[in-house]
Amino acid sequence: MADAHRLHALEMELAGRKLIPVNEDYVSQRLIEMDMCFRDAANYRKALTAVELEVLDYLVMKRGVTLSTASPLDVLSYLVCKDLGKKVNTVVHMRACPELGARTRTACKCPVRMNHASLDSLIGRVRRIFNDAGRTTEWVPESATGNPCASRPVKEYLRAVKREQSMAGVTPNQAVPFFRDKLVQLVLHINAELRKERSRLKGEESALTLTLVRDRAFFCLDLHTCKRGGDLGKLLIPQIIRLPDGSGLMFNMTVSKTLRGGSSHSFGCKRATDNMLVCPVRNLEGMVATFKGAGLNMSGGYLFRQCSKKRACTSFGFGQAYLQSAEISRNLKAYLQAAGIDDGESLSSFRPGGGIELAMVGCNMFDIMEVADWKSAKIANHYLKLREVLGKDSPADKLARLGGSAQSKAGREAYRKANLLRAASIAFK
């Protein structure tokens, strides 16, 4: 109470003084920037909004309830109906089905269900929606209060779905690893397209040539560093330093899927000693030089820029927005198909491919997991980490010394035979 009286007296005293002018334009602009930053990092929130609209539509229009009155039965009804969606493609064979254990179906009429991992994620999003509506506590059946997604029936439903799919032999799909020999083929195709476009333009640059140069550097860096494609797209130019002897580059990543505010992750790549065609350092230097020659400012901002013809940009459709994984994924698929080398690889294939090749050249598992960020890595000082990241016999050094496509191709074939079992046949027919 005393504090309230003191604050009130202070307010009365200040009320009689002259107002201090405030730069309202600056405040408004700063709030807009922060709102854009929040929206940029809120892909989960965007997905949540779509689910929110879908859940509200189902509860109100089909069940006649609201977020404040919905019960676990209403949530279960929504989850079961999701099995009827167009994007559901997990075949769950019945126990008596002759195709039990197969990923697809040919003659049987076994149902198609939502994958249990997708179901788990969906339940988490729906639970968040009820939390935002004020139903934050665990479900209490006696009073029918709390979050219905936290109820026992919903949890048991998820466990039952997992068990059903496990007994049906449903296993998660594994990304097809992307190996170095495939990268060589990809870069050769991109180089051919680049020569063709520049010949057509008589040496001039265009949005297509800049895109080709950018994508070539991106793919080479992705395989050599084993990073998530979406994370590489957010690399900032000031976060990249060149080693004093010019043998490589050092990156200090501050934004990624797993990093939080104030954290950073240092990694590097060295100039290749063999097969310069796919050297990430050489291709990055070529990309920066090409972009500078086209009039783009490469002294700051994002290293990999988004190309968009839908908004006003600086040069050839390239602005200051970072390269999103959706664009680079589309381009990768188009290149692979045009070159006739598409074996189902995606942007997610570079990390496992790079990790496997690291194991082939003798890196221990701990180094591989840290480089590929397959677990929470310790935050280390940028300069203290220099020797471990780029020293002799480090993962980056071994990758730089990895031979040409022959060694990579041999390793890829051995991996496929041992792990993907492509050369195997069904034991019992």
Instruction: Please state, in angstroms and rounded to a whole number, the distance separating the CA atoms of residues 275 and 404.
Output: 6
Q: What is the total count of domains within the chain?
A: 2
Q: What is the pLDDT of residue 94?
A: 84
Q: Domain ends where: 167, 189, 206?
A: 167
C-alpha dihedral (220, 223, 226, 229), degrees to nearest 10:
60
**At a CB cut-off of 8 Å and minimum separation 6, what does 247 contact?**
270, 271
How many residues are recorded in the chain? 429
Give the pLDDT band of residue 381 (cuts 50, 70, 90).
very low
Q: Phi and psi at residue 376, in whole multiples of 5°?
A: -65, 115
Question: Does residue 6 carry a pLDDT above 50?
Answer: yes
251, 352: one domain: yes
240, 310: one domain: yes
- Greater confidence (344 vs 154) lies with 154
143, 234: one domain: no
358, 257: one domain: yes
Specify if 199 maps to a domain.
Answer: yes
3-class secondary-structure state, position 240:
strand
The residue type of 397 is D
- Least-confidence region, from 141-145, 162-166, 312-316: 312-316
347, 386: one domain: yes
Specify if 302 maps to a domain.
Answer: yes
Of 239, 242, 269, residue with least CA distance to 253: 239
Instruction: Please state, in angstroms and rounded to a whole number, the distance separating the CA atoms of residues 242 and 153.
Output: 57
146, 188: one domain: no
Neighbours of 371 (CB within 10 A): 24
| DSSP string for 32-48 | HHHHHHHHHT-HHHHHH
Instruction: Please state, in angstroms and rounded to a whole number, the distance separating the CA atoms of residues 112 and 97.
Output: 14
| DSSP string for 245-258 | TSSEEEEEE--SSS
Burial level of 9, CB count in 10 A (0-12/13-18/19+)? exposed
382, 237: one domain: yes
Specify if 405 maps to a domain.
Answer: yes
131, 201: one domain: no
Specify if 21 maps to a domain.
Answer: no
Q: Which residues of 126-139 are buried (b: 16+ CB within 10 A; e: fewer)?
A: bbbbbeeeebeeeb
Q: Which of 6-15, 67-76, 247-256, 365-374 has the highest mean pLDDT?
A: 67-76
Q: What is the pLDDT of residue 224?
A: 87
Specify if 29 maps to a domain.
Answer: no
90, 224: one domain: no
Q: Domain ends where: 167, 196, 228?
A: 167
- Greater confidence (200 vs 11) lies with 200
Neighbours of 284 (CB within 10 A): 21
Average pLDDT estimate for 151-155: 93
Specify if 402 maps to a domain.
Answer: yes
230, 357: one domain: yes
Q: What is the pLDDT of residue 37?
A: 59
CATH of the domain at 252: 1.10.443.10
- Which tokens in the block code for residue 358? 């690291």
* Residue range 251-289, pLDDT digits in tens: 887 766 665 556 777 788 888 887 789 999 999 999 999
Expressed as residue numbers, the domain containing 148 is 43-167
73, 210: one domain: no
* Residue range 182-232, pLDDT digits in tens: 999 999 999 999 999 988 888 788 888 999 999 999 999 998 888 888 888
| pTM of the model as a whole | 0.64
- Greater confidence (419 vs 354) lies with 354
Q: Phi and psi at residue 268, in whole multiples of 5°?
A: -150, 175
Q: What is the pLDDT of residue 321?
A: 80
Question: Does residue 423 carry a pLDDT above 50?
Answer: no
The residue type of 73 is L
Specify if 7 maps to a domain.
Answer: no
Q: What is the pLDDT of residue 297?
A: 84
Question: Does residue 306 carry a pLDDT above 90?
Answer: no
Q: What is the pLDDT of residue 259?
A: 59
* Residue range 38-50, pLDDT digits in tens: 555 545 555 557 7
58, 128: one domain: yes
